[in-house]
Amino acid sequence: MSSDSNGLANPVVLGLYGFALAVILLSVHNLGFFGMDATIMAAAVFMGGIAQLIAGLMEFKRNTMFTGTVFTLLGLFWIAFGVLQAGALGAPAGVLGSPEHTSLSTFFLIFTILVVFMTFGTFKSPKSFIVTFVLIDLTLILLTSGAFLEMEALTKAGGAFGILAGAGAVYIASAEMYAEQYKKQILPL
């Protein structure tokens, strides 16, 4: 939970908090409280993307393949999402233009399948990790289904599960951070 033999601090906290901020913000959007805008894109690229990418690369440096892969893949997904949304909103940086519905939905589907497969890697982890990953899976399944079928109800349901997944990430990150700070487990995992 603290630093490893290489002297590197635990990057899981950064990755989980970055994920939580990005997924909760996007989920509130998916629930219809506000539109897609630069705030969501910035959170996607910097908190969801770059923060998780850094955490993933640090996890690889710590020789932890599973969390390194998870955070790196999630970080790259969020960066790609931000770039695609910039194009959809007509931003100058979005030189790619607006994403085509079927290809974007297929991108979400492939990512969803990868994350579902990664969930199996959590089964030897504490229950909070398993529950959070299952919530992420449900979020992605609902959002992907909503994208393919163009059903707002599925997207909103995905938004609700996304908030729960983000809350799970906040809990785990907080438990990890407090355990290191207080040198004992404060929140059970």
Q: What is the pLDDT of residues 45-100, one digit of tens each?
A: 999 999 999 999 999 999 999 999 999 999 999 999 888 877 655 555 445 556 67
d(CA 173, CA 12): 7
What's the number of domains the chain is made of?
1
Residue 176's pLDDT is 93
Torsions phi, psi for 62 (to 5 deg): -85, 0
Domain span including residue 88: 12-176
**Residue 3 placed within a domain:** no
pTM of the model: 0.89
Asked whether residue 61 is domain-assigned, the answer is yes
Alpha helices, H only, the chain: 12-30, 38-42, 51-61, 65-88, 101-119, 127-149, 152-182
Q: Contact, 58 vs 51, CB < 8 A?
A: no
- C-alpha 55/C-alpha 53 separation (Å) is 5
Share of the chain above pLDDT 90, in %: 71
| Residue 188 domain flag | no
Assigned domain for 22 exists: yes
Q: How far apart are CA 149 and CA 98, in angstroms?
A: 19
